[in-house]
Structure 1
Amino acid sequence: MDSGIIPMWQPLCLSGLLGFVVAASLLGITRRFRSIVQPWVVRRVQSDLPLILQIQRWQHRFFDIFFSVVSCLVSVPFYTGFIPILFWSGHSKLARQVALLMAFCDYIGNAIKDAISAPRPSCPPVRRVTATEDEKENAMEYGLPSSHALNTVCLAGYLLHYALTTYGHEMNGFRVLIGFSLVFLLVSLIGLGRIYLGMHSFIDVAAGITMGLVVLAFWLIVHDYIDNFLTSGQNVTSFSAGLSFVLLFAYPTPEAPTPSFEYHTAFIGVAFGLVSGIQQTYLLFHSEDVPRIFSPELSILVFFGRLLAGIPTILIVKFCSKALSKWLLPVICNTLGIPIRSSCYIPALKESDSSKNKSDNKQIGYLQRAISFLPYKTYDVDTGIRFLQYAGLGWSVSDLVPHLFTRLSLS
Structure 2
Amino acid sequence: MEGGMPFWQTLILSSILGWVLASSAFDLTRRVRALTQPWVTRRVIVDTPSILRLQRIQHRFLDNMFSVLSCVVSVPFYTGFLPLLFWSGHSKLARQMTLLMAFCDYIGNSIKDMVSAPRPSSPPVRRVTATKDEKENAMEYGLPSSHALNTVCLSGRYLLHYVLTHGVQNGVTVAVGFALIFTLVMLIGIGRIYLGMHSLIDVAAGISFGLVILAFWLTIHGFVDDFIISGQNVTSFWASLSFLLCFAYPTPEFPTPSFEYHTAFNGVAFGIVSGIQQTYFHFHHDGVPHIFSPQLPLLVFLGRMLVGIPTILVVKFCSKAIAKWLLPVMCNTLGIPIVSSCYVPALRGSDSGKSKSDGKQLGYLQRVTSFFPRKAYDVDTGIRFLQYAGLAWSVVDLVPSLFSHLNL
TM-score scaled by structure 1?
0.92
Distance 2:221 2:331 in 1: 37
Aligned-residue offset at 1:8: 3.4
Deviations 1:12-53 (A, max 9, x none): 321222012101211111111111111110110000000000
State which drifts further: 383-392 or 82-91: 82-91
Match of residue 217 from structure 2: 219
Aligned-residue offset at 1:129: 0.8
| Equivalent pair of 2:105/2:262 in contact (CA under 8 Å) | yes
Query: Which residue type is aligned with residue 211 of structure 2?
Result: L
Distance 2:330 2:146 in 1: 35
Distance 2:169 2:372 in 1: 61
The 3 A distance-change label for structure 1 pair 254 and 288 is same
| Equivalent pair of 2:336/2:372 in contact (CA under 8 Å) | no
Query: Which residue type is aligned with residue 26 of structure 1?
Result: A
Match of residue 44 from structure 1: 43
Match of residue 121 from structure 1: 120
Distance 2:3 2:387 in 1: 26
Aligned-residue offset at 1:189: 1.2
Match of 1:329 among 327, 330, 335: 327
Match of residue 271 from structure 1: 269
Distance 1:219 1:345 in 2: 35
Match of residue 90 from structure 1: 89
Aligned-residue offset at 1:11: 2.6
Structure 1 segment 22-37 matched on structure 2, within 5 A: 22-37=21-36
Query: Which residue type is aligned with residue 77 of structure 1?
Result: P
Distance 2:400 2:184 in 1: 32
State which drifts further: 171-180 or 315-324: 171-180
Match of 2:206 among 186, 192, 208: 208
Aligned-residue offset at 1:171: 4.3
| Equivalent pair of 1:111/1:252 in contact (CA under 8 Å) | yes
Match of residue 364 from structure 1: none
Match of residue 14 from structure 1: 13
Deviations 1:147-169 (A, max 9, x none): 110000000000110000011xx
Aligned-residue offset at 1:9: 2.9
Match of residue 101 from structure 2: 102
Distance 2:46 2:7 in 1: 51
SS of equivalent to 2:166: helix
Match of residue 64 from structure 1: 63
Distance 2:174 2:18 in 1: 45
State which drifts further: 34-43 or 330-339: 330-339
Distance 2:254 2:276 in 1: 37
Structure 1 segment 10-409 matched on structure 2, within 5 A: 10-159=9-158, 160-167=160-167, 170-351=168-349, 374=373, 376=375, 378-409=376-407
Query: Which residue type is aligned with residue 271 of structure 1?
Result: A
| Equivalent pair of 2:90/2:290 in contact (CA under 8 Å) | yes
The 3 A distance-change label for structure 1 pair 267 and 373 is closer
Deviations 1:191-227 (A, max 9, x none): 1111011100000000000100010011111111111
The 3 A distance-change label for structure 1 pair 336 and 371 is closer
SS of equivalent to 1:294: coil
| Equivalent pair of 1:90/1:286 in contact (CA under 8 Å) | yes
State which drifts further: 54-63 or 260-269: 54-63
Ranges in structure 1 where 5+ consecutive residues have no aligned partner: 357-369
Aligned-residue offset at 1:172: 3.5
Distance 1:82 1:348 in 2: 36
Aligned-residue offset at 1:375: 5.4
Distance 2:335 2:37 in 1: 40
| Equivalent pair of 2:337/2:374 in contact (CA under 8 Å) | no
Distance 1:130 1:346 in 2: 30
| Equivalent pair of 1:144/1:203 in contact (CA under 8 Å) | yes
Distance 1:114 1:227 in 2: 30
Aligned-residue offset at 1:91: 0.9
State which drifts further: 262-271 or 301-310: 301-310
Aligned-residue offset at 1:339: 1.6
| Equivalent pair of 1:90/1:291 in contact (CA under 8 Å) | yes
Aligned-residue offset at 1:134: 0.7
Distance 2:132 2:372 in 1: 39
Distance 2:370 2:106 in 1: 23
| Equivalent pair of 1:4/1:235 in contact (CA under 8 Å) | no
The 3 A distance-change label for structure 1 pair 184 and 328 is same
Match of residue 359 from structure 2: none
Query: Which residue type is aligned with residue 150 of structure 1?
Result: L
RMSD of aligned residue pairs (Cα, Å): 1.8
Distance 1:33 1:330 in 2: 35
State which drifts further: 77-86 or 237-246: 77-86
Distance 1:54 1:227 in 2: 46
Aligned-residue offset at 1:5: 4.8
SS of equivalent to 1:48: helix
Identity %: 71
Deviations 1:79-112 (A, max 9, x none): 2221111111111111111000000000000000
Query: Which residue type is aligned with residue 133 of structure 1?
Result: K
SS of equivalent to 2:105: helix
Query: Which residue type is aligned with residue 254 of structure 1?
Result: P
SS of equivalent to 2:16: helix
TM-score scaled by structure 2?
0.92
The 3 A distance-change label for structure 1 pair 217 and 346 is same
Match of residue 359 from structure 1: none
State which drifts further: 41-50 or 172-181: 172-181
